């Protein structure tokens, strides 16, 4: 589902695991580039990795972290 408003597109995704609806707002022209086949990272460099993942798979950050918890060794490096 999408709602175009003032050159912004609100993309609503539903997580296939928990059913929670999420909204991601993007620039209208960027949305059309993505819809025409641009990679999500190229079309939406301003979105977080979590937001881009919701657009690609629909999986919300909570469910993603349940499936693949962060590696404690990676967190120590930060």
- In tens digits, what is the pLDDT along the chain, a chain of 78 residues? 565 544 788 999 999 999 999 999 999 999 999 999 999 999 999 999 999 999 999 999 999 999 988 777 765 555
Count of alpha carbons within 13 angstroms of residue 60, beta-carbon side: 14
Alpha helices in 1-78 (DSSP H): 28-35, 40-43, 49-56, 61-67, 72-77
What values do phi and psi take at 20, rounded to 5? Answer: -70, 135
Q: Can you give the pLDDT at residue 77?
A: 54
Alpha helices in 11-57 (DSSP H): 28-35, 40-43, 49-56
Count: domains in the chain: 1
For 24, the domain range is: 2-77
């Amino acid at each position: 589902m999408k709602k175009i408003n003032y050159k912004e597109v609100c993309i609503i995704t539903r997580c296939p695991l928990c059913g929670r609806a999420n909204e991601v707002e993007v620039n209208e022209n960027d949305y059309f580039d993505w819809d025409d086949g641009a990679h999500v990272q190229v079309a939406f460099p301003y979105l977080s990795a979590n937001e881009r993942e919701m657009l690609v798979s629909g999986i919300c950050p909570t469910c993603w972290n349940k499936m693949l918890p962060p590696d404690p060794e990676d967190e120590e490096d930060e």
